[in-house]
């Protein structure tokens, strides 16, 4: 990020202030909401063959107006306390925006996971988890982590096992973390959830012609072009679904080692497989490779999807961004100054605190599943199918003809867990966008979708505090 620009944490706080200024909050309430309530910093060591290594990690708790607090744990060499606090704040706002009844938290361990083998990573993760559990920073009722950058279902399985060993009496132990493998109490559809939510969010934006027009575009999503930064879990799923299900043309892909561009359409799945086999995009046969690919953020396209990390669009490159819509799949990809600049120059940003909330939404479903100790759909799937058979029977009796098999198949289908998760996620993303768009279009003082989203978050959290009598 450019030296003179505000940090990630300051950016999130300034975005908060901009929205809070449009509201009539009681004095001091905004400051209470904005600040992190507490942060636990831990330093621990793990013994390896060649000696001890020391690790430093954090878990920040932002707002506890709802419990448990929720948010991922990231493993990255760049992790620091300020960023963890910014991410924890975004989690509180995110949950409020999509009506998920959690407060916000975030954890980070300063480590490059690529420097360790699986065995070593497991020991490090379990040690970090133990420290957090001891202090109540992992607990099914109080603080529930999930995957984030550099972590996934594997790490969550180690964490849940560590918690279970320390609390064998806790009947809800598996609800202490979400994003687990399905064999360990995870839920179907959690891995794809954030990317899927990005897809649903962009689809819903294109169902709002007035908002689409403000971005200088018209028509639906089909046929629009997009550039995506980062084919990690979020970027890969979002770009893949948009390409395969919505007819979006992917004309640029940025990765660690460079970028790919093409006038036609780059197959996301083919690039993803290529990266798996070759470690990067260089040499991919069906697109042009661009060395030091960051300039590809400035390529001509309708939708730019930064899905990598914070601070990618700054005042240095914002003036050259050509995309009409910036869909923030990552947390904090646009700095506060760049955000102002882009708005003033007619760009529309679909903000992170809304757009990437699909992950925590499905985490909420997983947590509920864990507390209820039963898989979604287990009780009603067959019942739903039998109802369909009865309807078919009645129709056939009335018209005296058999119902065609493709209709029969649809009517006698009972929803499984994945169907229900997708349905809940789609509904959440659609309704939340409608709420944001309504505020954006009806309040004069609200200049953009981000401010509208923050207004919703602040109003909800403020209401929770006020009603509690605090
Ligand atoms: N790490 C994800 C996020 O930033 C998911 C958090 C969760 O599921 O709790 O939203």
Ligand 1 centre from 383 Cα, in Å? Answer: 34
Q: Is the pLDDT of residue 14 over 90?
A: yes
Ligand 1 centre from 300 Cα, in Å? Answer: 31
Q: Give the model's pLDDT for residue 154.
A: 98
List the one residue out of 95, 90, 123 whose CA is nearest residue 109: 123
Q: Is the pLDDT of residue 6 over 90?
A: no
Does one domain contain both 282 and 431?
yes
Per cent of the chain over pLDDT 70 is 99
Domain that holds residue 153: 38-186
Q: Is the pLDDT of residue 429 over 80?
A: yes
Ligand 1 centre from 77 Cα, in Å? Answer: 19
Residue 376 CA to residue 368 CA, distance in Å, equals: 10
Q: Is the pLDDT of residue 3 over 80?
A: no
**Average pLDDT, stretch 1-25?**
88
Does one domain contain both 309 and 435?
yes
Does one domain contain both 144 and 20?
no
Q: Give the model's pLDDT for residue 468.
A: 84
Residue 259 CA to residue 291 CA, distance in Å, equals: 7
Q: Which residue's CA is minimally distant from atom 8 of ligand 1?
A: 360
Does one domain contain both 157 and 266?
no
What is the number of the ligand 1 atom nearest to the C-alpha of 356?
10
pLDDT for 334-347, tens place per residue? 999 999 999 999 99
- Domain tally for the chain? 2
Residue 321 CA to residue 314 CA, distance in Å, equals: 10
Q: Is the pLDDT of residue 359 over 80?
A: yes
Name every protein residue with a CB atom under 6 angstroms from any ligand 1 atom: 70-72, 146, 148, 178, 331, 356, 359-360, 363
Residue 137 lies in a domain: yes
Ligand 1 centre from 145 Cα, in Å? Answer: 8
Residue 394 CA to residue 404 CA, distance in Å, equals: 14
Q: Is the pLDDT of residue 188 over 70?
A: yes
- Of 194, 328, 352, 366, best ligand 1 pocket probe by most atoms within 8 Å of the beta carbon: 194
pTM, to two decimals: 0.96
Q: Give the model's pLDDT for residue 5.
A: 77
Domain boundary among 145, 162, 186: 186
**Average pLDDT, stretch 388-417?**
95
- Of 8, 92, 179, best ligand 1 pocket probe by most atoms within 8 Å of the beta carbon: 179
Ligand 1 centre from 111 Cα, in Å? Answer: 19
Residue 147 lies in a domain: yes
List the one residue out of 315, 438, 397 whose CA is nearest residue 6: 315
**Average pLDDT, stretch 82-104?**
98
Residue 361 CA to residue 162 CA, distance in Å, equals: 25
pLDDT for 140-163, tens place per residue? 999 999 999 999 999 999 999 999
Catalytic residue flag (residue 369): no
Q: Give the model's pLDDT for residue 266.
A: 98
Hey, what long-range contacts does 322-326 have (CB within 8 A, 24 or more apart)?
322/298, 323/227, 323/299, 323/347, 324/215, 324/216, 324/217, 324/348, 325/202, 325/205, 325/215, 325/217, 325/349, 325/350, 326/350
List the one residue out of 123, 263, 470 whose CA is nearest residue 462: 470
**Average pLDDT, stretch 31-60?**
96
Q: Which of 106, 224, 240, 369 is catalytic?
A: 106
Does one domain contain both 326 and 200?
yes
pLDDT for 190-222, tens place per residue? 999 999 999 999 999 999 999 999 999 999 999
Hey, what long-range contacts does 19-22 have (CB within 8 A, 24 or more apart)?
19/446, 19/450, 19/451, 19/452, 19/454, 19/455, 19/457, 19/458, 20/454, 20/458, 21/445, 22/443, 22/445, 22/446, 22/451, 22/455
Residue keyed to tokens 């798996």: 276
Ligand 1 centre from 410 Cα, in Å? Answer: 34
- Please indicate whether residue 2 or residue 295 has the higher confidence score (pLDDT): 295
Q: Is the pLDDT of residue 367 over 90?
A: yes
Burial class for 370, CB neighbours closer than 10 Å (0-12, 13-18, 19+):
buried
Q: Give the model's pLDDT for residue 470.
A: 65
What is the number of the ligand 1 atom nearest to the C-alpha of 71?
9
Domain boundary among 163, 186, 209: 186
Q: Give the model's pLDDT for residue 295.
A: 96
Does one domain contain both 31 and 73?
no
What is the number of the ligand 1 atom nearest to the C-alpha of 144?
9
Q: Is the pLDDT of residue 1 over 80?
A: no
What is the number of the ligand 1 atom nearest to the C-alpha of 94?
10
Does one domain contain both 177 and 201?
no
pLDDT for 221-265, tens place per residue? 999 999 999 999 999 999 999 999 999 999 999 999 999 999 999
What is the number of the ligand 1 atom nearest to the C-alpha of 331?
4
CATH code of 247's domain: 3.40.50.720
Ligand 1 centre from 315 Cα, in Å? Answer: 28
Per cent of the chain over pLDDT 90 is 96
List the one residue out of 255, 146, 226, 159 whose CA is nearest residue 193: 146
Does one domain contain both 49 and 181?
yes
Does one domain contain both 220 and 270?
yes
List the one residue out of 12, 176, 141 whose CA is nearest residue 89: 12
Does one domain contain both 173 and 264?
no
Band (pLDDT 50/70/90 cuts) for residue 4 is: low
pLDDT for 277-313, tens place per residue? 999 999 999 999 999 889 999 999 999 999 999 999 9
């Amino acid at each position: 990020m450019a030296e003179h620009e505000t940090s990630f944490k300051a950016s999130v706080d300034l975005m908060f202030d901009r929205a809070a200024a449009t509201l009539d909050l009681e004095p001091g309430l905004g400051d209470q909401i904005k600040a992190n309530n507490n942060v636990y910093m831990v330093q621990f060591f793990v013994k390896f063959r060649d000696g001890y290594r020391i690790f430093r990690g954090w878990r920040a708790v932002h707002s506890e107006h709802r419990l448990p607090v929720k948010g991922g744990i990231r493993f990255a060499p760049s992790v620091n306390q300020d960023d963890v606090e910014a991410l924890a704040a975004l989690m509180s706002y995110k949950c409020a925006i999509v009506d998920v009844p959690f407060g916000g938290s975030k954890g980070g361990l300063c480590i490059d996971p690529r420097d360790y083998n699986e065995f070593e990573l497991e020991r490090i993760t379990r040690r970090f988890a133990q420290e957090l559990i001891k202090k109540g920073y992992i607990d099914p009722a109080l603080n529930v982590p999930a995957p984030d950058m550099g972590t996934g279902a594997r790490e969550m399985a180690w964490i849940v096992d560590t918690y279970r060993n320390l609390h064998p009496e806790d009947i809800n132990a598996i609800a202490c973390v979400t994003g687990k493998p399905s064999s360990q109490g995870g839920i179907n559809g959690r891995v794809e959830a954030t990317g899927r939510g990005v897809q649903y969010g962009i689809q819903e934006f294109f169902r709002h012609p007035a908002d689409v027009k403000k971005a200088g575009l018209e028509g639906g999503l089909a046929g629009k072009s997009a550039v995506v930064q980062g084919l990690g879990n979020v970027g890969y799923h979002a770009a893949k679904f948009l390409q395969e299900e919505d007819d979006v043309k992917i004309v640029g892909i940025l990765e660690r080692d460079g970028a790919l561009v093409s006038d036609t359409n780059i197959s996301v799945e083919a690039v993803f497989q290529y990266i798996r086999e070759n470690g990067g995009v260089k040499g991919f046969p069906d697109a042009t490779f661009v060395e030091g690919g960051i300039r590809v953020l400035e390529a001509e396209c309708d939708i730019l999807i930064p899905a990598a990390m914070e601070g990618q669009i700054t005042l240095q490159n914002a003036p050259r961004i050509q995309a009409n819509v910036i869909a923030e799949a990552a947390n904090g990809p646009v700095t506060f100054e760049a955000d102002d600049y882009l708005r003033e120059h007619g760009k529309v940003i679909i903000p992170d605190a809304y757009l990437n909330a699909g992950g925590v939404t499905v985490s909420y479903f997983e947590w509920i599943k864990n507390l209820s100790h039963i898989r979604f759909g287990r009780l009603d799937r067959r019942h739903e199918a039998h109802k369909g058979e009865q309807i078919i029977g009645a129709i056939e009796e009335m018209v005296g003809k058999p119902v065609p098999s493709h209709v029969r198949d649809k009517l006698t289908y009972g929803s499984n867990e994945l169907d229900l998760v997708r349905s809940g996620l789609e509904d959440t993303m659609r309704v939340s966008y409608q709420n944001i768009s309504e505020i954006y279009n009806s309040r004069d003082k609200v200049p953009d979708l981000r401010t509208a989203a923050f207004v919703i978050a602040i109003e909800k959290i403020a209401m929770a505090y006020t009603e509690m009598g605090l």
